[in-house]
Structure 1
């Protein structure tokens, strides 16, 4: 068996190979991250073994740069393994070369990690799942962008109009945003006639707000203790940020519509689990990918990085309170949000959470325990292709497996 390791970078990759005894099978070769470079890599691999079945190719999951080459090699018929960089770092320490890091050394380390690790070929999943993964990650990025913009608005308002958070129940509701687009500073608010301001509020609130609210805001603006310096700059900033929030939220809505259609097509059964809606369900399904690549639910727990870390020395063995976080951050976040939803809904998982809290676990520890148990239910739904069974969350056997 020949093991080929590829060191991934933005512009150039390096491929090297070892045989089943750890001896160099060929001199490492650098090739460009381009169609021509990929052809050179395929030609290199063709010269390593008589049959493709006698060759296993490995590469680190370095950012997003590995994906085009992975697809090219898969299309060429090679079995390819995507390796967590932590595994190759462990091999580097094992070989005593932690201070040595070059492209040549790294590609051989990947090959050695592949040889010693007992890996199975990786699979990306079908096109619909990949599309769903892209959409859910895009949606998350858009929501994070909106959250950052909102923080910037709050910072500006705290300086120029500190009392504003008492004006509306939701600073970023439609009525509040309409007001901020027109007069975000006390000076501008006082300069606008009350009747005109009332009409703005009435349109934005669909008739729920009007002259009384306008008079209230003017009274608050008149007594404001906000700074009176550079107010035109603050006003411009706030108006611009609100426009950006509206624009990005509109984009997020478009993405949500695509996600909704996608999850209905790919795996609607995930939606039968309480607390898991379209976007969250799509992220869980797309990040797990083909559930058949996992031996059991515990494998998904480990893949998500929500398994507890273990410290062991001699006869001493201790499960530490923190999780490993050595997995997919996207899946970990989605499972955490799904666990939080169980508490809000007081679903059957809530009793399990309450039991953990009664056992002395902190809120976070109990919540992670719920997430682990939830993974077992998700695995059962996806692998058996059966709707969620409420009794599954109460199963003592399931609880013991998810500890």
Structure 2
């Protein structure tokens, strides 16, 4: 017979079929930032251990396991399932410790917990215990799945993917601020380039001379030499376009321009620091991905021998659900 929640629910129901519901216990744990709340109930819905709070440390862990052991002994439990909501990261260390001492632990979908919490029966519980009550209902129904067990390679991948994703999001937001800053400090400069902040010569200018007065004094030949000495390519035509933009610029009053320039310099420095972290994360991932189920080969290197910065761009999208993160 098919079950609504699939094979995992079918397997659980097969385990409890014929077992006295009083001997089947569920332990919903509502985890917060520094503490948690739990209760113990049987499959009739009767509370065996009333809701109690405990700290997310070794003392609190000992309190939780002691209450579970007491309930198991009182009911001669045949099955005891601990359930946590898989929202955020606060539950992960507790779930790992519970599994380490041999308890059965499952994670519950946050949307399912929210839906169960709204049921009429949950109103009989105090508001701070309703999440536990909702999770207990789900556990009795056989909802939940075991926490993902990661190999060392998968754990490393997940950590670096999350790190890389956060830095990409931060750099994307910062690039918008830099565009706004350049529009105040050097209006029209970004309009000379068609690829946002990716232009190598643009990066040299915004990092070292985002000043239309200096660019105007350098002139076309001077700007070409300045950029090329820093390892970037720029054509005479592009340099001429930038110099002409500098000549036509509407500049802020000196006090305003100096303030905007200082903020822009700070943003640009942070932007390149984030880029270094993204490159580092990409390099770390390039070494671990061959050992994961993805089985991705080592990326091609650029001229300097380091992984190409655009490698994995298609493999590591911002939506990383399929990467176990």
Contact in 2 for aligned 1:57/1:80 (Cα 8 Å)? yes
**How far apart in 1 are the matches of 2:272 and 2:193?**
18
Q: 1:72 aligns with which of 67, 91, 97?
A: 97
- Match in the other structure for 1:116: 141
Q: CA distance change for structure 1 residues 99 and 49 in 2, over 3 Å: closer, same or farther?
A: closer
Please, which runs of 5 or more residues in structure 2 have no aligned partner? 1-23, 298-310
RMSD: 2.9
Contact in 2 for aligned 1:10/1:65 (Cα 8 Å)? yes
Superposition map of 1:352-371 within 5 A:
none
- How far apart are residue 119 of structure 1 and its match? 3.3
Q: 2:66 aligns with which of 21, 43, 50?
A: 43
Q: CA distance change for structure 1 residues 55 and 279 in 2, over 3 Å: closer, same or farther?
A: farther
**How far apart in 2 are the matches of 1:89 and 1:17?**
20
Q: CA distance change for structure 1 residues 187 and 143 in 2, over 3 Å: closer, same or farther?
A: same
Q: TM-score, normalised by structure 2?
A: 0.77
Q: TM-score, normalised by structure 1?
A: 0.63
1:139 aligns with 2:129: no
SS of 1:238's equivalent?
Answer: helix
SS of 2:33's equivalent?
Answer: coil
Task: Please list the CA deviations of residues 331-357 of structure 1 after superposition, one character each: whole Å capped at 9, or x if unmatched.
Answer: 27x8xxxxxxxxxxxxxxxxxxxxxxx
- How far apart are residue 2 of structure 1 and its match? 0.4
- How far apart are residue 245 of structure 1 and its match? 1.4
Task: Please list the CA deviations of residues 29-62 of structure 1 after superposition, one character each: whole Å capped at 9, or x if unmatched.
Answer: 2110112211211122122225786100001123
Task: Please list the CA deviations of residues 283-317 of structure 1 after superposition, one character each: whole Å capped at 9, or x if unmatched.
Answer: 59xxxxxxxxxxxxxxxxxxxxxxxxxxxxxxxxx
44-53 vs 167-176, which deviates more? 44-53
- Match in the other structure for 1:95: 120
Superposition map of 1:2-401 within 5 A:
2-50=25-73, 54-97=79-122, 102-170=127-195, 171-192=197-218, 196-206=222-232, 208-209=233-234, 213-228=238-253, 230-269=256-295, 278=312, 281=315, 330-331=320-321
**How far apart in 1 are the matches of 2:93 and 2:313?**
26
**Quick check: which one's helix share is greater?**
1
Q: CA distance change for structure 1 residues 188 and 75 in 2, over 3 Å: closer, same or farther?
A: same
Task: Please list the CA deviations of residues 204-225 of structure 1 after superposition, one character each: whole Å capped at 9, or x if unmatched.
Answer: 454x326664444222111123
**How far apart in 2 are the matches of 1:279 and 1:40?**
46
**How far apart in 1 are the matches of 2:124 and 2:187?**
53
**How far apart in 2 are the matches of 1:329 and 1:53?**
41
Q: CA distance change for structure 1 residues 280 and 214 in 2, over 3 Å: closer, same or farther?
A: closer
**How far apart in 1 are the matches of 2:290 and 2:206?**
38
Larger relative contact order (Cα-Cα within 8 Å, sequence gap ≥ 6): 2
- How far apart are residue 254 of structure 1 and its match? 0.8
Q: CA distance change for structure 1 residues 236 and 263 in 2, over 3 Å: closer, same or farther?
A: same
- How far apart are residue 22 of structure 1 and its match? 0.8
Q: CA distance change for structure 1 residues 38 and 127 in 2, over 3 Å: closer, same or farther?
A: farther
Contact in 2 for aligned 1:263/1:278 (Cα 8 Å)? no
Task: Please list the CA deviations of residues 149-170 of structure 1 after superposition, one character each: whole Å capped at 9, or x if unmatched.
Answer: 1111111222343321232344
